[in-house]
A = this chain, B = another copy of it.
């Protein structure tokens, strides 16, 4: 792993680079559109944007196999899209329509999809970690070489559930990949104001879990680290912990006045925007041309426009169905 961090991953080929770029762009534009729709009150509730962190979902999730599982947080549109859940289904969900991936019952914070083993969409900070441990336990007990990737923010590190879950995963040698997206803030609380030990990887290592900090603004670094980690996990090496160092460019949610950080700091980080960083690098290496990006933009725009239309045209669940899905509907024998 340390080799990888020094040598750096290989340059991707054109198709690969375009796919990565498209992955990030789709999330970026989707999120920008969501913000717009929120101000139009088409999307309601809490909305947490992933802008700035796209390299992580786009880089890491592509490494997973279809049979692997994902557990995420309320800031999970990016992960959902990267996993291949359609923009249609995610957008419709945020519109509260039946065509949404959770029937409109979940909203922005609760994207779920059985087909891609996407287990949410958990709005309790730290709440997804025990779930991921359990999914991995089930795989281990059933001798399946599947991986469960669990995404969470660095704010979750302070929660008791983090501690208990990492210990369980390590103690039982379970196939969990812990992906901590360290964007330096939990709402308005900076990491150094919430942790006595700010080196998150070091904390994870205290459970005897291999743990590395990774540049989360570099999609190739993310992918490369994830590959190595996933391989180790799949081969039965037990849990792995990756700390992706990143930054959210937008407010925590749509209600945040951002009193807790300097504009300067935001601007400095924006200079490391993962999308231009990657595209510029690909231009420089001659792998991708600016025209390609323009084409991707058009393509992505189309996909999102269609998603918005799909969501607009979606239907509302009949009010009479209010009490459904509290318990499983069984067809009587």
Query: Of B161, B167, B196, B202, which is within 8 A of A196 by CB?
Result: B167
Query: In the assembled complex, how far is the CB of residue A74 from the closest CB belonging to chain B, in whole angstroms?
Result: 20
A3 at the interface (CB under 8 A from B): no
Contact of A160 among B161, B171, B206, B207 (CB under 8 A): B161
Could you say which residues of chain B place their CB within 8 Å of the CB of A196?
166-167, 170-171, 207-209
Q: Is A195 an interface residue (CB 8 A)?
A: yes
Q: What is the chain B residue whose CB lies nearest that of A202?
A: B206
Q: B202 touching A197 by the CB < 8 A rule?
A: no
From residue A147, how far is it (CB to closest CB) to chain B in Å? 19
- Distance from A276 Cβ to chain B, minimum over Cβ atoms (Å): 36
- Taking the closest CB of chain B, its distance from the CB of A210, in whole angstroms, is 12
Scan A79-91; emit 1 where CB is below 8 A from any B CB, else 0: 0000000000000
Q: Taking CB as reference atom, which chain B residue is nearest A170?
A: B196
Query: Does A266 make an interface contact (CB < 8 A)?
Result: no
- Asked if A194 lies at the interface with its beta carbon under 8 angstroms from chain B, I say yes
Interface flags for A143-161 (1: CB within 8 Å of B; 0: not) read 0000000000000001111
The residue that A163 contacts in the complex, of B163, B170, B208, B209, with Cβ under 8 A, is B163
A231 within 8 A of B: no
**Which chain B positions have C-beta within 8 A of A206?**
197, 202-203, 205-206
Contact B159 A171 (CB under 8 A): no
**B-chain residues with CB within 8 Å of residue A208 when the two chains form the complex:** 196-197
Among A202-237, those with CB < 8 Å from B are 202-203, 205-209
Q: Is A292 an interface residue (CB 8 A)?
A: no
With A and B bound together, what is the CA distance between A159 and B167 in angstroms? 10
Minimum distance in angstroms from A166 CB to a CB of chain B: 8
In the complex, what distance in Å separates the CA atom of A207 from the CA atom of B197? 5
Closest 10 CB pairs of A and B: A160-B160, A170-B196, A163-B163, A206-B206, A171-B196, A196-B208, A196-B207, A197-B208, A160-B164, A167-B196
14 sampled A-B residue pairs with Cβ under 8 A: A158-B167, A159-B160, A159-B164, A160-B160, A163-B164, A170-B196, A170-B197, A171-B193, A171-B194, A171-B196, A196-B209, A202-B206, A203-B206, A205-B206
Q: Knowing that A160-B164, A167-B196 are A-B contacts, what are 12 other residue pairs whose CB atoms are under 8 Å apart, sorted by A's residue number?
A: A158-B167, A159-B160, A160-B162, A163-B164, A166-B196, A170-B196, A171-B196, A196-B207, A197-B208, A202-B206, A205-B206, A206-B206
